[in-house]
Structure 1
Amino acid sequence: MDLASHYNQLFSDSKQAISTNNYVIDFEIDSKSDHRFGITLLIRPSEAIKNKMQSFLNELKELEPSQYYYPNSDIHITVLSIISCHDGFSLNQINPEQYIAVIKENMAILNNLEIEFSGITASNSTIMIQGFPSNDSLNTFRNSLREAFRKTNLQQSIDNRYTLFTAHTSVCRFRKPLANTTKLISVLEKFRNHDFGKFEVNQLELVFNDWYQRKEKTQILQQFKI
């Protein structure tokens, strides 16, 4: 399935789930006992694009003020979840320099990469902005990293949850019952094909992070220039 078809299927399924009250509430967002941490390689969109995303979120907030909305500081595209967030993981269990070295060895694969954010999609618990890479280098890079990490003895859980091939960014999570599913779907439809802009990827970040990539709980381990 190509990227557009995948996003379309997600939106169709999620719209059905929301309209029939079969959406999923994330009860961990406000939990003080959530200690899930991991290691992620990510891309951060430009500030101009993130500001456009906030304009969309402002409309959602008018309808659904109780939901969880990502601030600009937390908006990201996951390149690869190297160690998926789980309870009990801490940085002292690994040597970050070993992970940095593996990534550096594969960086040359990424070239002339732009990502266009066009339209929104959703899951049964999350609203996302659709990202479309300008070429195949992002997934080629991901596959190269998968193979490289498999050849090491480093702790990793790549693809344990699912195989990542999209370039979306999550911007809203459901943390309370929805106030008005009909109006929410109407706003989602309004932005279904909205142009949020395009940016050139010139840097990656390797971070130690919580499940929601909250800035106050994230530690940058390395920035990689492209």
Structure 2
Amino acid sequence: MNLKEHYDKLYQDSIQKIQSDSYQVDELIDSDGDNRFGITLLLRPDNTVKSNIHKLLSEISLIEPNQYFYRDSDLHVTVMSIISCYNGFALHQIKVEEYIEAIKKSINGLSRFHLEFKGLTSSPSCLMVQGFFENDVLNQVRDNLRINFRDAALEQSIDKRYVIKTAHSTILRLKERFRNKEGYLKVLEAYRDFHFGTVTVDTLELVFNDWYQRKEYVKILHSFKLK
């Protein structure tokens, strides 16, 4: 898949929906009754990337202060959603060590890789920083996970919602209707091709998490090193 073409199509489709007021607002962000949890294999951007994202979000917050902005601690790239968040999931329902072993098997022999964060894309409900990987390591990890979790017969929902192919990081979610839509779109265009930074990915984390990866709910279950 050509990542740039994919991101571009997402962006153009979403901008059209925003301009026509057919975008989506997440009404569960502030809900005390949101009990969706799952487990995810993810990677984290470094401080340089986080700082640049923070600068962008600070600009947007002056225009749209009541949207949901991801904190530095919550920024991530999903490698694979092992168990997609659903109401009532709890860690006692699974044997975490079996999941760790399946992931160890999936990354065995694979090397660290570079991930460039450049430009923005969008969906009708959120804003994302685009990630571009230099080689096929991330895809190898994902393909190995699909095989090993299928063979292990563990509870999982890999590819159930969608087949993950990108390396984006969600940085903002819409939680109310726009107050200054044109101002918001103007900032997006200004950062459309902005270089946020390039990270060397040598660590992956398996975490228990809520839908928004908020630090107060996230529990790191294991950290994995790429050689």
TM-score band, normalised by the shorter chain?
Answer: over 0.9
* TM-score computed with the length of structure 2 as normaliser: 0.98
Question: For structure 2, which runs of at least 5 residues remain unmatched after alignment?
Answer: none
Deviates more, 1:176-185 or 1:163-172: 176-185
Q: Report how far residue 152 of structure 1 moved.
A: 1.4
The question of whether the paired residues in 2 share the 8 Å contact of 1:109 and 1:141 is answered with no
Distance 2:60 2:139 in 1: 31
Tell me the equivalent position of 2:222. Answer: 222
> What is the Cα deviation at residue 108 of structure 1?
2.7
Task: Quote how far apart the aligned CAs of 1:110 are.
Answer: 3.1
Task: Kindly indicate whether the alpha-carbon contact (under 8 Å) linking 2:107 and 2:144 is maintained by their aligned counterparts in 1.
Answer: no
Give, in whole Å, the separation in 1 of the partners of 2:112 and 2:78: 18
1:183 offset after TM fit, Å? 1.3
Whole-angstrom distance in 2 between the partners of 1:104 and 1:10: 33
Counterpart residue number, 2:183: 183
TM-score (norm: length of structure 1): 0.98
Task: Compute the displacement of 1:7 (Å).
Answer: 0.2
Residues 63-116 of structure 1, C-alpha deviations (whole Å, 9 max, x = no match): 100000000000000000000000011000001000000111121353141100
In the TM superposition, residue 126 of structure 1 has moved relative to its aligned partner by 0.3
Matched residues in 1 for 2:159 and 2:151: separation?
A: 15
What secondary structure sits across from 2:216 in the alignment? helix
Residue type of the partner of 1:156? Q
Q: Which runs of 5+ in 1 are unaligned?
A: none
Per the alignment, residue 22 of structure 1 pairs with: 22
Q: Hey, which bits of structure 1, 4+ residues long, moved more than 6 A?
A: none
Written as runs of structure 1 = structure 2, the 5 A alignment for 1:57-206 is 57-206=57-206
Determine if the alignment matches structure 1 residue 4 to structure 2 residue 1: no
Distance of 1:2 and 1:48 partners within structure 2:
26
Q: More displaced, 161-170 or 175-184?
A: 175-184
Is the 1:38–1:89 Cα contact (8 Å) retained in structure 2? yes
The DSSP-based 3-state class of the residue aligned with 1:143 is: helix
Deviation at 1:140, TM superposition (A): 1.3
* Identical-pair percentage: 48
Letter in 2 for 1:160: K
Q: Distance in 2 between matches of 1:48 and 1:150?
A: 37
Counterpart of 1:223 in 2: which secondary structure? strand
Query: RMSD across aligned C-alpha pairs, in angstroms?
Result: 0.8
Q: Output the amino acid matched with 1:224.
A: F
**What's the secondary structure of 1:217's corresponding residue?**
coil
